[in-house]
Amino acid sequence: GAVVSQHPSRVICKSGTSVKIECRSLDFQATTMFWYRQFPKKSLMLMATSNEGSKATYEQGVEKDKFLINHASLTLSTLTVTSAHPEDSSFYICSARGGSREGTYEQYFGPGTRLTVT
């Protein structure tokens, strides 16, 4: 299957600082990337959908000024958590849609980034 990487895998930061998470599709061009967060023992919650070269579409309740998403190329999307607070601590997972088959809607997930804000 297609490979998606995320960096960093784990980050601890202090309240008030900003953290950037990178998501890369390694062997395919991802026209669409998704960002999710997952709370313990809960399902994935879609935060935003980003298409290369255009602004991200945020889900209701997700602050776009706090979670900045940049999809600069067909292989890279970044999520920046600005002015992080302890309640932002979570597992953030990106996924990418693309692949070799035309019209496929399958998503491939990155390994996730565990953010802890102290």
Partner 1 sequence: RKEVEQDPGPFNVPEGATVAFNCTYSNSASQSFFWYRQDCRKEPKLLMSVYSSGNEDGRFTAQLNRASQYISLLIRDSKLSDSATYLCVVLHSGGYQKVTFGTGTKLQVIP
53-92 residues in contact with partner 1 (CB under 8 A) are 57, 91
Cβ distance to partner 1 smaller for residue 74 or 109: 109
Enumerate helices (H) and strands (E) in the chain, giving the number of each.
Answer: 0, 11
Residues of span 21-40 touching partner 1 by CB under 8 A? 32, 34, 36
Closest distance between partner 1 and the C-beta of residue 60, in Å? 11
Nearer to partner 1, 78 or 113 (CB): 113
Q: Does 98 bind partner 1 (CB under 8 A)?
A: no
* Cα 93 from Cα 86, distance rounded (Å): 18
Closer residue to partner 1 in complex, CB, 16/53: 53
Q: Is the bond preceding residue 8 a cis peptide, omega within 30 degrees?
A: yes
* Residue position matching structure tokens 């990337």: 33
Nearer to partner 1, 9 or 17 (CB): 9
Q: What is Dmax (Cα atoms) for the chain?
A: 44
Tokens of 30: 């991802």
Residues near partner 1 (CB under 8 A): 1, 32, 34, 36, 42-46, 49, 57, 91, 93, 105-112
